[in-house]
Copies of this chain bind each other. A is one copy, B any other.
Amino acid sequence: MFNEARKLINTNAHIYIERLAEAVAIRSVSTDLSCRDDCFAMADLLHRWIEELGGSSDKVLVGFQELDDGSRYDLPPVILAEFSAGKPRQKPTVLVYGHYDVQPAAEADGWSTDPFTLSEVDGKLYGRGSTDDKGPILAWLWAIEIHRELELELPVNVKFCLEGMEESNSECLDDLLERESKGGFLSNVDYVVITDNYWVTTDKPCLTYGLRGLATFHCEVKAGTQTLHSGVYGGCIAEPMTDVIQLLAAVSEYGHGDIGIENCGRKSATPITEAETELYKGITFDAEAFRHEAGDVPALLGENEKEVLMNRWRYPSLSIHGIEGGYSGEGFKTVIPGAATGKFSIRLVPGQDGKAVEESVKAVLEKRFAELKSANKMTVTSTSSKAWLADPRCPLYQSGAAALLKVYGVKPDLTREGGSIPVAGLLQEKLGVETMLLPLGQSDDGAHSENEKMSKRNYLQGVQVLFTFLGEIARAHEERGDMPNGTPKRKGTLGRLKDIWYGLS
């Protein structure tokens, strides 16, 4: 059926692009309350398409936002939808997570085209949401549609969880996942696939099996209620900005490359294994191009490309993002802010416990603040979400790899990401099943930037990848049978794929 599907995708290409254009035209910007109706419209469109394709869809309201003035705004609904395979009892269920809200966009930001009009230029489909994450969501729907058009029974049950607040911290999603995972809509899920991610390069597909977590910190020091003139008050008061600088210096004193705080540094990361080291060998990564994309920084940390990737993916890092308070504009103002807040974060890795990181950082801040003997008041607030790591040797990844190999003719790279997508860890933990990031877009798609695009090739071949993947995961599941350790009962897909990972068996 692989070739039939490919032919059909080529025939339908203009329809898929028209539908993507229809989706991109809806300004479902979740951070902009004036676009809240558009978020609902986008949910309605997906809901209609799913039902037209024979799925069942539920738009679940999850709560509301309350502003300081007391006004309330309903949160966009989470779409919980399902496409049943013929014999649901014997077939596994794959849950697809995605989001239909988008980042803000305006032509004034530097777009070459109207961000809410899908524009094809040189084989690229430009438009806000094209790759993040409307394109990938739609590719899933067309992969299901092809089964219908080719009169094929779905090889697995496919469920969707599509939210409309991903770009706004997935507000209220936790509660829904908690509720639905316990005997609800999500209780019989066997595999989770997330297509909200990108290749490491522009030309080689990958599967992503790990993400760093994130601990965020706001460290505020307050003296008084107003901004003061340094000529009048300089020397007469303990300045909050000086305190904050000393505090930030204390947490970042190891400088670049490690973090000198207990539970936070490289030592607290899970030790690297030989198998993991092997994984890095074949990864296509151009450090020089990466350095250039970073705005021509003078150097990267890491002796070679493998070390740079490890710094990015498997080691913790501390970044200071800025200081709230004081004068941050151009030029000079001799102000003493009444309060200053240092903002920084630590990317967490497997082996690290978010709560322990938060506590250790707070202890360093408190110790340093005590040393300063400042009359001011310090307040620290923090949050943390764990790193996520899957075992890429499991059948889910082997199925993903098989699909990518068939469509692109190359073994995908096995990668991690330095960023954080908390829902991956959350779903893996709550549902207790194998979870995979299956990116359809390329490294240069510009997800949160101006001129966001998805290549026409990636969009259409993405449909083929997902169509193929559904067959592969069904076969892998069947081969795996009831073996508790996931070893396949007989040689089949997995037998063919066991050498797909460099050195892993």
Contact = CB atoms under 8 A, between A and B. Distances in A.
A235 interface: yes
Contacts of A239: 256, 319-320
Interface of A is mostly: loop
Interface in A212-247: 212, 214, 216, 218, 223-226, 228-239, 241-243, 245-246
A238 B372 CA distance: 27
Contacts of A245: 245, 248-249, 252, 320
Nearest to A225: B295
A317 interface: yes
A22 to B, nearest CB: 30
A295 B230 contact: no
A120 to B, nearest CB: 27
A300 B332 contact: no
B294 A233 contact: yes
A152 interface: no
Contacts of A324: 328-330
Given A236-B300, A418-B232, A418-B234, A319 B246 contact: no
Contact of A249 (B235, B249, B333, B420): B249
A324 B294 CA distance: 19
Contacts of A243: 255
A229 B345 CA distance: 12
A302 interface: yes
**Which of A241, A295, A300, A345 has the most B CB atoms < 10 Å from its CB?**
A295
Interface in A310-354: 311-312, 315-330, 332-338, 343, 345, 347
Contacts of A14: none
A84 interface: no
A236 B311 contact: yes
Copy total for this chain: 2
Given A302-B236, A324-B329, A319 B296 contact: no
* Interface hub of A252, A290, A315 (most chain B Cβ within 10 A): A252
A373 interface: yes
A314 to B, nearest CB: 9
Interface stretch (A67-75, A159-167, A355-363, A374-382): A374-382
A301 interface: yes
A419 interface: yes
Interface residues of A, number: 81
A289 interface: no
B326 A323 contact: yes
Interface string A249-273: 1001101110000000000000000
A394 interface: no
B343 A295 contact: no
A288 to B, nearest CB: 13
B419 A231 contact: yes
A297 B223 contact: yes
B241 A319 contact: yes
A301 B236 contact: yes
A319 B255 contact: no
B255 A373 contact: yes
A133 to B, nearest CB: 16
B295 A223 contact: yes
A299 interface: yes
A423 interface: no
A417 interface: yes
A7 B214 CA distance: 75
Given A328-B322, A333-B321, A255 B242 contact: yes
A298 interface: yes
Contact of A319 (B316, B318, B336): B336
B338 A224 contact: no
A225 B418 contact: no
A492 B291 CA distance: 79
A407 interface: no
A299 B237 CA distance: 7
Contacts of A315: 235
23 contacts: A223-B295, A223-B297, A226-B294, A230-B321, A234-B318, A235-B316, A235-B347, A236-B290, A236-B418, A237-B256, A238-B255, A239-B256, A239-B320, A242-B252, A255-B372, A299-B375, A319-B334, A321-B334, A321-B335, A322-B325, A323-B328, A324-B328, A324-B329
Counting from the closest, the 10 A-B pairs by CB-CB distance are A231-B419, A224-B295, A322-B326, A249-B249, A235-B317, A234-B317, A226-B295, A299-B375, A225-B295, A328-B328
Given A246-B249, A255-B374, A323-B323, 6 more contacts: A236-B302, A245-B248, A256-B372, A297-B338, A322-B337, A326-B328
